[in-house]
């Protein structure tokens, strides 16, 4: 018996503590450096350009290649030597405290409320730090841009996270909402407050149209069909030039007003800045849009939470876990899938109409497949079914890519031709790999059940199916 227990202890012992961990870390760091050298020698070490005679010229960038190799080797060394042992010890300590009840900290218990209060004061803080005109960039690029993706991801979360239906064409509903507002506001002169719900209704209608053909599909087949639907909408926008103006897009989209009382048009008699004696600036309109998209996000979160506690929400979760068992319980899977597609599409239509108002211009190039991929990645990285985790993932991913535009000091290190924003997709992909290895169920790997007996407890990621939060 003692030999068997000793053998079991050896098997359960992590590889990092067998032998010399430093030697193993050095070896794996060397392997990582060699692999990165082979991967990046043609993409980073050599740059292809053209001279004035259209001849191909290769410029050597061995210093930049060396940086990539060193970062990969050092990162692998630190991961094996320090990060993995710390994570293993932390996991072992957490396993010993599984049966013990630990009280949540104040920050964790009230994180959502603190975040909402911080967002309410964010524009005022930006104005105080950078001035009215200087706050324009921070309110627009880092505030409105992130909240748009938060709303889109929360809408897709209903389809993917709650109902378990993989949708790769969600950007199509985003485009329907944007073009609905752009065309109807120009042709009929309807205000934003009339077209906002109308855009959501039209997007929900198209969501039901998508839902009918895919009622019997699931998995990879469902993903392919939804991807095709998104491409069909984009191609219609490009080729139906009589209505959508094709690749030229729709410009001159009217701005939103504050319930028709105050306008943000410069020549309007009820201009907001003139009414309050403020200097003319476009920052006031961006601040108004920030609070508008914040209200739309809070509305999306409230409706999602309420729906999860209703029978339809529990039907979504039952469908996600096992469709056959869901049918055996007497749940109508047809209406369950259609409601998931329709409600998720409705929020995409809301976000699309807001996008048209914010940009003042829409074109098919804004609704490519990459947008659907980014939104789906935010849902997966944040944790399917977790609103807080998705919001954190959107802030990190979208805010991080926008932050690259501010790192102009890197040109002093890598040269004047270096543009940090061009590497945003590379960093985005690396971040996805790191997060999925470190926390495969997303930033928030546990969630509270909608139905509970006597006491509500969070469900750990170890008790849920892989990828379902």
Other CB atoms within 10 A of residue 81 CB: 18
Two structure tokens written together for 87: 């994570």
Q: Does 1 have pLDDT greater than 80?
A: no
Residue 246's φ and ψ, nearest 5 degrees, are 60, -140
- Confidence class for position 13, pLDDT limits 50, 70, 90: very low
- Say if CB 223 and CB 354 are below 8 A apart: no
The predicted-structure confidence for 344-359, as pLDDT tens digits, reads as follows 999 999 999 999 999 9
Mean pLDDT of 248-275: 81
Mean pLDDT of 181-204: 91
Average model confidence (pLDDT) across the chain = 82
- Confidence class for position 252, pLDDT limits 50, 70, 90: confident
Mean pLDDT of 268-288: 80
Beta-strand pair 46-50/56-60: antiparallel
State the pTM of this model.
0.80
Q: What is the pLDDT of residue 144?
A: 93
Higher-confidence residue: 2 or 52?
A: 52
The predicted-structure confidence for 93-134, as pLDDT tens digits, reads as follows 766 765 455 566 777 778 888 999 999 999 999 988 888 888
- Confidence class for position 259, pLDDT limits 50, 70, 90: confident
Q: Does 469 have pLDDT greater than 70?
A: no
The predicted-structure confidence for 434-452, as pLDDT tens digits, reads as follows 777 777 777 665 555 566 6
Two structure tokens written together for 10: 């050896």
- Say if CB 69 and CB 33 are below 8 A apart: yes
How many CA atoms within 13 Å lie on the side-chain side of 189? 1
Contacts 24+ apart (CB under 8 A), 317-321: 317/162, 317/163, 317/450, 319/163, 319/164, 320/162, 320/163, 320/164, 320/468, 321/164, 321/465, 321/468
Higher-confidence residue: 448 or 391?
A: 391
Two structure tokens written together for 102: 């630990």
- Say if CB 93 and CB 87 are below 8 A apart: no
Higher-confidence residue: 9 or 170?
A: 170
List the end-to-end C-alpha distance of the chain, in Å, as a whole number.
40
Q: What is the pLDDT of residue 415?
A: 66
Which of left, alpha, beta for 415 (phi over 0: left; psi -120 to 50: alpha)? left
């Amino acid at each position: 018996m003692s030999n068997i227990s000793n053998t079991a202890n050896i098997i359960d012992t992590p590889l990092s503590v067998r032998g010399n961990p430093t030697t193993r870390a050095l070896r794996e760091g060397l392997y990582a450096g060699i692999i990165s050298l082979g991967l990046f020698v043609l993409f980073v070490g050599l740059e292809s350009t053209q001279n004035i005679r259209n001849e191909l010229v290769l410029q050597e960038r061995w210093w930049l290649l060396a940086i990539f190799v060193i970062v990969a080797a050092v990162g692998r060394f630190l991961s094996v030597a320090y990060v993995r042992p710390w994570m293993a010890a932390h996991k072992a300590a957490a396993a010993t405290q599984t049966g013990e009840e630990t009280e949540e900290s104040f920050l964790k218990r009230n994180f959502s409320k603190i975040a909402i209060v911080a967002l309410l004061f964010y524009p005022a803080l930006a104005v105080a730090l950078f001035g009215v005109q200087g706050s324009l960039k921070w309110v627009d690029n880092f505030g409105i841009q992130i909240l748009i993706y938060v709303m889109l991801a929360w809408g897709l979360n209903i389809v993917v996270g709650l109902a378990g239906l993989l949708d790769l064409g969600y950007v199509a509903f985003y485009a329907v909402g944007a073009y609905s507002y752009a065309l109807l506001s120009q042709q009929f002169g309807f205000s934003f407050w009339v077209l906002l719900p109308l855009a959501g209704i039209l997007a929900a209608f198209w969501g039901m149209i998508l839902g009918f053909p895919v009622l019997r599909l699931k998995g990879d087949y469902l993903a392919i069909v939804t991807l095709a639907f998104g491409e069909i909408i984009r191609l219609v926008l490009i080729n139906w030039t009589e209505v959508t103006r094709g690749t030229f897009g729709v410009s001159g989209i009217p701005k939103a007003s504050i319930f028709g009382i105050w306008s943000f048009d410069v020549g309007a008699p009820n201009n907001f800045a003139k009414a309050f004696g403020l200097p003319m600036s476009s920052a006031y309109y961006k601040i108004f849009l920030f609070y508008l998209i914040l209200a739309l996000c809070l509305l999306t979160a409230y409706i999602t939470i309420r729906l999860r506690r209703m029978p339809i929400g529990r039907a979504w979760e039952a469908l996600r876990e096992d469709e056959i068992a869901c049918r055996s319980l007497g749940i109508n899977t047809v209406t369950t899938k259609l409601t998931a597609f329709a409600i998720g599409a409705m929020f995409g239509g809301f976000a699309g109409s807001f996008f048209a108002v914010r940009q003042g211009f829409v074109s098919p190039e804004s609704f490519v497949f990459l947008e659907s991929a980014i939104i789906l990645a935010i849902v997966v990285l944040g944790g399917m079914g977790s609103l807080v985790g998705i919001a954190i993932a959107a802030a990190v991913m979208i805010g991080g890519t926008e932050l690259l535009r501010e790192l102009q000091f890197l040109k002093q290190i890598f040269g004047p031709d270096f543009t940090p924003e061009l590497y945003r997709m590379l960093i985005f992909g690396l971040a996805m790999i790191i997060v999925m290895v470190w926390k495969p169920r997303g930033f928030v790997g546990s969630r509270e059940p909608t139905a509970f007996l006597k006491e509500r407890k969070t469900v750990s990621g170890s008790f849920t199916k892989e990828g379902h939060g």
